[in-house]
Structure 1
């Protein structure tokens, strides 16, 4: 499943960042299985053995299951002795030598999508700094999953549009063609934020389908724009100001201006509007 693969990539990166920022010797986690009230531990950073690998944690059971059920962070100072949790997974935790453990749920649209764990091999309180870093790592995963969900929704909506919305004039003909242009702009803005390379490549492939009408014939060489120049121009084509384009693309307004100037120069355009028209004639924008 593409969504599962993307989520796994994000969790793996978050675990590595969590260990770097906190110094925790062990971090691990996984995704909640779609349609089921359990998560499976699949990703590790610093784990010494295989006791936890593939372990299915049911909602309400153990520390991670408690985090899934309550949709909030949970922590224990000594896992095997804690009275705050049930103890279905004590053998696996003990084999890994873990004592002090925290579990942070990854919550997207009020649904727990995964859990991040951090652990010590000594029984001592995990401080506020560690908890804050773990919560931030989970928030990073949540944001990435939201972006991935948006991207997949756009892919679903864009593919039929790419097949049915034929070439239109530069001004665009009908609401259908405008929807294609909006989808193209949104996909290009999302693509750089996608960590999963397969999903990112899929997004850009669909962008290519949305601009698949042939360019108008020209005596000169075909115009080639850098990816970021095209991202900025797509936002401009959708009516965005430089500031709005910067916010959408995660760039500084001055950087957006630079990309726009460069795109205009390559297209031989004197204004933003001319640049958009030239890009459409060149088959670079829908």
Structure 2
């Protein structure tokens, strides 16, 4: 799946939110095609025809092309009669019966990545409230695309790390190299809940499992000894007790393992500090641990954290 194709998941979700927030009966949009100055309309909601489906909107042309070229929202009260835009796309717009139309660009790192449209089948002004709601939907797409790119970058960075399902006998792991693995795991676990695309989220979590299960034998033994020394009998069977951790409990432990405070974990995961405490208490109970450190070590020994 290409980055552009999979990005339609975010566009589709934003269009649903746009219609709900504005009350506009029609919404559609798409992403800029890689290497080309045009947007391909890929998602439609509320339409009665396929006239707009797969339409290629070139930068500068029509309402959407103007929004792309200027990198700012644009709107017209009557599309076919407007003197503010060019009219290359009058036929498909008329076929769908659209009159008042707005177009909002999706801008990521100063580059236009797509356009969201909202429309009425009557000619009437689209107020500031409607435009603001459309802009908010575009901002949601922008944030989702940033998260997507961060996840892709982190997964790419994780590939060359010294991680295998079964480390070669006698392989030497430096402390710095293993810290890279742990940092990549923590970052990816923090991002995973914010990834809108289910396929990409599953891929991120697969990489997390690969990183978590790659502990070399010497580090696994060290973790086991730490558990037995710090947690007594509770850590002796940490792997058996760790299976019931929820994804969110594991997210919290991954951050705690990096030395983050509850407040820092909350900011990272977008939850309240009290919620972090609840997840941490639950994880400690399931792991049979009495402290945060014991919980982290038990989770590592169980192969749930690197």
Short-chain TM bin: over 0.9
Q: Which residue of 1 aligns with 2:187?
A: 186
Q: How does 1:1-286 map to 2 (within 5 A)?
A: 1-161=1-161, 163=163, 173-213=174-214, 221-224=240-243, 225-286=245-306
Q: What SS is found at the alignment partner of 2:163?
A: helix
State the shift of 1:162 in Å. 5.2
Q: Residue 158 of structure 2 aligns to a residue in which SS?
A: helix
Q: Which 5+ residue runs of structure 1 have no aligned equivalent? A: none
Deviation of 1:187 after TM superposition, in Å, equals: 0.6
* Helix, strand or coil at the partner of 2:43: strand
Q: Quote the Cα distance in structure 1 between the aligned partners of 2:163 and 2:117.
A: 44
**Distance in 1 between residues matched to 2:162 and 2:113, nearest whole Å:** 31
- Unaligned runs of 5+ residues in structure 2 are 225-235
CA distance in 2, matches of 1:70, 1:162: 46
How far apart, in 1, do the equivalents of 2:119 and 2:80 lie? 13
Between the aligned partners of 1:43 and 1:276, the Cα distance in structure 2 is: 44
Q: Distance in 1 between matches of 2:135 and 2:281?
A: 40
Deviation string, structure 1 residues 24-62 (Cα, Å, up to 9, x no partner): 010000000011100011101101111111110000000
| Deviations, residues 82-130 of structure 1 (Å, cap 9, x unaligned) | 1111111111111111111000000000111100000011111000110
- Mark the CA change 1:173 to 1:269 in structure 2 (over 3 Å): closer, same or farther: farther
SS of corresponding position for 1:207: helix
Choose 1 or 2 for highest CA Rg.
2
Aligned residues of 1:2 and 1:199 also touching (Cα < 8 A): no
Distance 1:222-1:119 versus aligned 2 partners, 3 A rule: same
SS in structure 1 of the partner of residue 7 of structure 2 = helix
Q: Which stretch of structure 1 is more off in the superposition, 235-244 or 262-271? A: 262-271
Q: The residue matched to 2:36 in structure 1 has which SS?
A: coil
TM-score where L is the length of structure 2 = 0.88
Q: 1:279: how far off?
A: 1.5
Q: Which residue of 1 aligns with 2:231?
A: none
Checking the alignment, whether the CA contact within 8 Å between 1:57 and 1:65 is kept in structure 2 is: yes
Distance 1:85 1:219, change over 3 A: closer
CA RMSD of aligned residues (A): 1.8
Partner of 2:233: none
